[in-house]
Amino acid sequence: MNELDQHRYFFDSGIRFQCRRCGACCTGAPGVIRVSDEEAVAIADFLSLPVQQAIDTLLYPWENGYSVREDGDGRCLFYEEGCRIYPVRPRQCRTFPFWTAILRSEARWDSIRRHCPGIGKGRLFAKHEILDILNS
Ligand code: SF4
């Protein structure tokens, strides 16, 4: 057991979560969705696009990789009545809502919970699983 496991968190009893694919987190306020080189290739392959074309039209450079382009209203370009790339969505999307920025305070968690109908539903993620996601 490491030091983090012994620390007390508001999610010590675990958190239930199952994405309802409502799109609330894919639309609305603009934000950065990190995409690695490997993820860019997987997205291009999934959409049957040349990698460079996918990068030029759907992504933009961000730090060591890319971020996803958005419409003017903040909607992810991959969101059209559902995520068009769900099986190969970036890690940042796959790990929502178990992000350090969200779990660092219960107040922040509560504000996200009000907008995500998947929180509190579905299977229980144990504390150790949540910490593994945060540390991965
Ligand atoms: S807001 Fe929650 S339930 Fe809706 S798509 Fe995002 S993660 Fe899934």
Q: By the 8 A CB rule, do 34 and 62 touch?
A: yes
Q: Nearest-CA neighbor of 68 among 103, 104, 33?
A: 33
Q: By the 8 A CB rule, do 68 and 77 touch?
A: yes
- For the whole prediction, is pTM greater than 0.85? yes
d(CA 133, CA 98): 7
CB of 93 shorter than 6 A to ligand 1: no
Q: What is the pLDDT of residues 29-80, one digit of tens each?
A: 889 999 999 999 999 999 999 999 999 999 999 999 999 999 988 999 999 9
- From 81, 93, 96, 111, give the residue whose CB has the most ligand 1 atoms within 8 Å, as the site to mutate: 96
